[in-house]
């Protein structure tokens, strides 16, 4: 069967200067949701703050209907949105270039399986300046916790996942 299980998504980025935790939404796959939440935190943010931001981003994640998919995943719209997002980050954080912003950027994707209540935090491999990914059997271990964990536990799990980014 091709049953699609309801999920919630978020993304977390960290480059040593700031954490950025954002809502993602989708159906089978996900993308950054402009209608979701975006949290920027200091590099010294404590586990409670990180966990609170991540839980809030996930709270605003939407499991889309089939009717919403074409508009939400529109390539041109998402490309323009991405460029505006990058420029806003460069301006907000005082970087001189994309290279300065992304050079040391670590990325984790976060997925909550609503049915079984598990949160999976996936540390990513920095493959190119603005690209992160994973390969089968790459040796990077994901972090699994109950989705209803406390803010501190979620924040600690996110920090652990960032320590596994390559």
CATH of 7-163, one of 2.40.160.20, 3.40.1590.10, 3.40.50.1100, 3.40.50.2300: 3.40.1590.10
Q: Residue 74 has what pLDDT?
A: 96
Say how many C-beta atoms besides its own lie within 10 A of residue 149's C-beta.
Answer: 16
What distances in angstroms separate CA 3 from CA 28, 66, 144, one per listed residue? 10, 13, 23
User: How far is 116 from 132, CA to CA, in rounded Å?
Assistant: 27
d(CA 154, CA 49): 10
Cβ-proximal residues to 90 (8 Å cutoff; 6+ apart), any chain: 96, 97, 98, 100, 101
Q: Which pLDDT does position 2 carry in this prediction?
A: 66
Cα distance between the two ends of the chain: 36
| pLDDT tens across the length of the chain (166 residues) | 468 899 999 999 999 999 999 999 999 999 999 999 999 999 999 999 999 999 999 999 999 999 999 999 999 999 999 999 999 999 999 999 999 999 999 999 999 999 999 999 999 999 999 999 999 999 999 999 999 999 999 999 999 999 999 9
- Alpha-carbon distance 91 to 40, whole Å? 14
Q: Name residue, tokens 């954002």.
A: 22
- Give the distance between the most distant pair of CA atoms in the chain: 50
The pTM score is 0.95
């Amino acid at each position: 069967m091709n049953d699609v299980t309801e999920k919630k998504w978020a993304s977390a980025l960290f480059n040593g200067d700031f954490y950025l935790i954002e809502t993602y939404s989708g159906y089978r796959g996900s993308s950054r949701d402009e209608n979701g939440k975006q949290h920027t935190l200091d590099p010294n943010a404590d586990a409670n703050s990180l966990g609170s931001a991540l839980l809030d981003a996930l709270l605003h994640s939407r499991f889309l209907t089939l009717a919403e998919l074409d508009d939400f995943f529109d390539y041109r719209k998402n490309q323009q949105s991405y460029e505006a997002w990058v420029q806003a980050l460069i301006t907000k954080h005082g970087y001189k270039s994309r290279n300065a912003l992304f050079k040391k950027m670590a990325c984790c994707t976060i997925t909550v399986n609503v049915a079984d209540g598990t949160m999976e935090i996936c540390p990513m491999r920095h493959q190119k300046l603005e690209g992160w990914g994973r390969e089968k059997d790459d040796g990077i271990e994901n972090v699994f916790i109950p989705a209803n964990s406390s803010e501190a536990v979620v924040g600690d799990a996110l920090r652990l996942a960032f320590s596994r980014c390559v």
